[in-house]
Amino acid sequence: MSNQNAVASTSTINNVPVQAQFNANGQCLGLVGPAGAFFSPPINGVVVDPITLSIGGVPITTSTQLPTITSGFGTNPTITAANTMGFKIVIGTGGSSGGVIGLPTAVNGWVCYASDVTNGSNVFVQQTASTATSVTLAAFGNTTGTTANMSAGDVLLVICIAY
């Protein structure tokens, strides 16, 4: 049995009609299916809205406002980012035992995970504080568990999600 469906194709078999929902900029926010079921991007693997990602129907919030280094991480550290979901910090001269990252305002605060991919066999990095606009990261010795310095040039890879 074949039905005509001008939305999906000229000839479809047992397809369910869907309706696209767009924002004011013409970006597709998702598809509405039977009984109001909502399918949101990334429908085809391309993220249309980089600010909201849902996993299991629970929104995971990130931001396109770039993170900044507020203090620490050595002298003249660098940060490379396209959003808060994943970014890189290179420790500046003199090394550092940690620092503060400035972030966009979150409803409650930020949860961040960081890893020293250059010196990870000697130090681990842990979040030690969070506010609505910042997180503090500190380095600790793998064998001692006490505060330790990261070396100049160490690369930290960081993921931050608002909660």
For the chain, give every domain's residue range: 3-49, 68-162
- Render pLDDT for 108-146 as a digit per residue (tens, 0 to 9): 889 999 999 998 788 999 999 999 999 999 999 999 989
Nearest in space to 103 (alpha carbons), one of 32, 158, 60: 158
Contact 78, 90 (CB under 8 A): yes
Q: Name the phi and psi angles at 8, rounded to 5.
A: -90, -45
Q: How confident is the model at residue 5 (pLDDT cuts 50, 70, 90)?
A: very low
Contact 90, 151 (CB under 8 A): no
Tell whether the torsion through CA atoms of 112, 105, 85 and 40 is positive or negative: positive
Share of the chain above pLDDT 90, in %: 44
* More confident of the two residues 66 and 28: 66
Instruction: Please give the DSSP secondary-structure letter assigned to residue 86.
Output: S
Contacting residues for 64 by C-beta, under 8 A, at least 6 apart: 50, 51, 82, 83
pLDDT at residue number 52? 55
- Render pLDDT for 149-163 as a digit per residue (tens, 0 to 9): 999 999 999 999 888
